[in-house]
Chain A
Amino acid sequence: MKTKQAIGVAERQATKRALGLLVHHFGYRGAARVLGRVVYGQLRGEPFRRLGPASSRRERLSRRQCGGAVLLDRAIARASDADTASSIVGEVISTGGMEFLEKMVPNAGIEQMRVRAAEVVDSFFNAEGQTSFDDDGSFRFDVHRCHFVELLGKVDASHLARHFCQVDERFFTSGQRPIQLRRTGTIASGGSGCDFHFSPLGDE
């Protein structure tokens, strides 16, 4: 329930941001045209229609979270160019993603996060992996499968995957939580996994 609520809040924030950016770039009429294409696509079950029904809850939620971005990217690219589309969609994903993480990641230090690690990583439905704990107080989440990367690849939108990765980085490097994230590779950038390494901050 919490996950769906978080997705709902994130979608509302992302839509608001998209509207603002589209009006800024294309004016009210142009923005309406782009959004019209996105809504039309969603009503037709795009962009994942040809893939058939989702095989799991994780995939269904992942489709919901990244499908709108694909349609928005396509609609903007049609109205303008690929660079503009990627830039706007990146900002929209960032806004929605930050809101999602704000709702899902407990505002707690590393000790609490270690206790709740399994629960926290389970709420990131797009990622499948393993958690482990280090002696220095940190913990790792090694992701070996990312539904975003797989789904985006299947609909020729792999270029959007990096925007989703950047949200994690932005959230944890912008002081939103009292923990540090270090990640040396991602599946989206061609790696075999995403190595999330959460460690404590030094107190002042």
Chain B
Amino acid sequence: MRDVSDDGSSEHRYGGVFLWQGFEHEWLRSVLGFSVPHRVSRLDNYIDRQRSEDWRRDASADFHFGQETGVDGNYMQPIGRYAALSAAHLCAHSGVAEFAWTDEGEGKRFPQARSDLAREVHVPATALSADMEGGGYVAVLNGIALRSRCDPAKQPSTSPGNSHGFWPFKLAFRVGDVSASADGLRFDVSAAIHRAWTPMRGGLPPFEEKPFNHRLDYELEIHYAVLGMAAGHLVTARERVELSGSVHDRRPRSGRVTLPLDGAAVGSFGIAGFGFELKRSGTAERFGHLGRYISGMTLGADAAPLDADRGVLDVDCSLGVWCPKTVVNSHADYFLDVVGIGLPESATVLAGGRARGKLCSNSHGAPFFSVWNGCDDSERGPECRCYTVPIRAEFSE
């Protein structure tokens, strides 16, 4: 799927920006000491409504969280990572690339449904500051919001759906490099959402099997920001970090990338892409089903302050998808596209920001033995599938 769209619902600002730096989502309910994993039917983690009267003083924005279990109940306290920049003459333009589609399962032995999406975004020249002509530009993600729905009318009568969720084996989201021309800026946004059955066909055959939804309806928002500055003031470097592990690794994998930002006095980073892919990791027939119930996902990074003497920014990445031992193990490949952003001495960087949300879902349609209605006023919080945290940056004392 590929098309071109003019950047419609968007906002632009001058003087500063919040940078999205990844997330940690983990279901916290356990039964008999085992974490309860789930399909994915919703995954929101993004920043929007960035606002300030004067970016030299302070600014605020909203950090959004969302995740749903599908059928069973559970709760989490998701974390969003961010940094804030204040820099004179920095132009930041935010927007959302929206996709809506229906996928379709293919294959008899190992059914899978794959969605590969791409779109070119056009930011018209009118949205940019007049003094940005000939400037440097870079695009980064502000996060994503993904929803899936199972429409019973779209399933074969022999295999009705029982959940809006899916068992992912590949999720990937990216923004590409920016090309500037007289009519504005252009860059690609792309996503891959691949799903499959689990090795145990969603349950524990022959006692229980859950159907592989033949078709799912999706809505995806890819939130992005384009940063620009007059020529020579913005230094950028893009690198990909690739790590591998097993989904039974409780701790995310760590990797460091050193970004050359020569000539910059201060710096931070944004994320231009992230994702994971689960691989077949056994010869037995069941390993051909690549989907998994997921307990946790950590896909993000932190950076030390820019080393201006060496002209480099060290970024430490944490990448992992975690499943408990009750889920068949799988090899997993992860990637993170990191974009270093170097700025002049007059700029201010507030690094290491963390926003924490609170999500809780009671069981809806679960079998009697797994019903859980634990959402309340305790630490789990009331039933809440999306949560917004205001975030704030104080640049001047």
Selected from A83, A87, A176, the residue in CB contact (under 8 A) with B110 is A176
- Contact across chains for A204 and B287 when beta carbons are under 8 A apart: yes
Interface check A5, CB cutoff 8 A = no
Selected from A84, A95, A175, the residue in CB contact (under 8 A) with B287 is A175
A residues in contact with B288, CB < 8 Å = 175-178
- Contact across chains for B281 and A202 when beta carbons are under 8 A apart: yes
| Chain B 1-32 interface mask (CB, 8 Å, partner A; 1/0) | 11000000000000000000000000000000
Number of A interface residues, CB 8 Å? 21
Selected from A176, A201, A202, the residue in CB contact (under 8 A) with B109 is A176
How distant is the Cα of A176 from the Cα of B196 in the complex, in angstroms? 11
Find the B residue at minimum CB distance from A90: B116
Interface check A173, CB cutoff 8 A = yes
- Contact across chains for A175 and B289 when beta carbons are under 8 A apart: yes
Selected from B106, B169, B279, B283, the residue in CB contact (under 8 A) with A98 is B106
Interface check A191, CB cutoff 8 A = no
Interface check B328, CB cutoff 8 A = yes
How distant is the Cα of A177 from the Cα of B109 in the complex, in angstroms? 10
The bracket for how many chain B residues form the interface is: 20 to 34
Nearest-Cβ distance from residue B199 to partner chain A, whole angstroms: 10
- Contact across chains for A175 and B107 when beta carbons are under 8 A apart: no
Interface check A107, CB cutoff 8 A = yes
How distant is the Cα of A17 from the Cα of B113 in the complex, in angstroms? 13
Known contacts A98-B107, A175-B290: does B280 contact A201 (CB below 8 Å)? Answer: yes
B residues in contact with A203, CB < 8 Å = 282-284
Interface check A174, CB cutoff 8 A = yes
How distant is the Cα of A202 from the Cα of B109 in the complex, in angstroms? 21
- Contact across chains for A204 and B110 when beta carbons are under 8 A apart: no
B residues in contact with A178, CB < 8 Å = 280, 282-284, 287-288
- Contact across chains for A176 and B2 when beta carbons are under 8 A apart: no
Interface check A185, CB cutoff 8 A = no
Nearest-Cβ distance from residue A151 to partner chain B, whole angstroms: 26
How distant is the Cα of A176 from the Cα of B279 in the complex, in angstroms? 11
Find the B residue at minimum CB distance from A175: B280
- Contact across chains for B2 and A173 when beta carbons are under 8 A apart: no
Interface check B329, CB cutoff 8 A = yes
Selected from B107, B289, B328, the residue in CB contact (under 8 A) with A204 is B328
| Chain A 116-135 interface mask (CB, 8 Å, partner B; 1/0) | 00000000000000000000
Interface check B104, CB cutoff 8 A = yes
How distant is the Cα of A17 from the Cα of B112 in the complex, in angstroms? 15
Interface check A168, CB cutoff 8 A = no
- Contact across chains for A204 and B109 when beta carbons are under 8 A apart: no
Binding site for B on A (CB under 8 A): 17, 20, 83-84, 87, 95, 98, 102, 107, 109, 173-178, 200-204
Instruction: Please name the 6 residue pairs, one residue from A and one from B, whose CB atoms are nearest each other, closest first.
Output: A175-B280, A178-B283, A204-B282, A175-B290, A175-B288, A109-B283
14 A-B residue pairings within 8 Å (CB atoms): A95-B106, A107-B109, A174-B112, A175-B279, A175-B287, A175-B288, A175-B289, A176-B110, A178-B284, A201-B280, A201-B287, A203-B283, A204-B328, A204-B329
